[in-house]
Amino acid sequence: MAIDDWKGEVVLRGTWLYDGEVQKPVLIVARNFDHSFDPDDEDNEPGAGPMSLGPDGRLYSLSFVYASVGGPWQTVAEAKAWANSQAWGPVKWEDEG
């Protein structure tokens, strides 16, 4: 997978507990474009555009492997914070041992 294709590049893996018991995977995926912006969406505000890329030239989103669930965010830290604040969180991330 490449950062400039729809699937993006997985930069971090983690797990969360479904129903407090069953481990489920979650990924943070990097792309060099706003995958959530649809220029043809009739509900866009006038002048709306895609989110600006973050300081490293990327945007990050969360994926439950089978579906994208949030984002984009401009940093991995923002994506992690959002995931950890959800009712299904917190997530145990690979980079946290």
Confidence of residue 89 (pLDDT cuts 50, 70, 90): confident
Residue 48 has pLDDT above 90, yes or no: no
- Which pLDDT band, with edges at 50, 70 and 90, does 42 fall under? low
For residues 37 and 51, the answer to whether their CB atoms sit within 8 Å is yes
Model's pTM, two decimal places?
Answer: 0.64
- Residue 47 tokens read as 């002048």
pLDDT at 38 over 60: no
How confident is the prediction for the chain on average, in pLDDT? Answer: 81
pLDDT in tens, 49-80: 677 889 999 999 888 866 667 778 899 999 99
Q: What does the DSSP 8-state code read for residue 94? A: G
Residue 45 burial (C-beta neighbours within 10 Å; 0-12, 13-18, 19+): exposed
Q: Where are the domains of the chain?
A: 9-96
Q: Partners of 71 in the beta sheet?
A: none
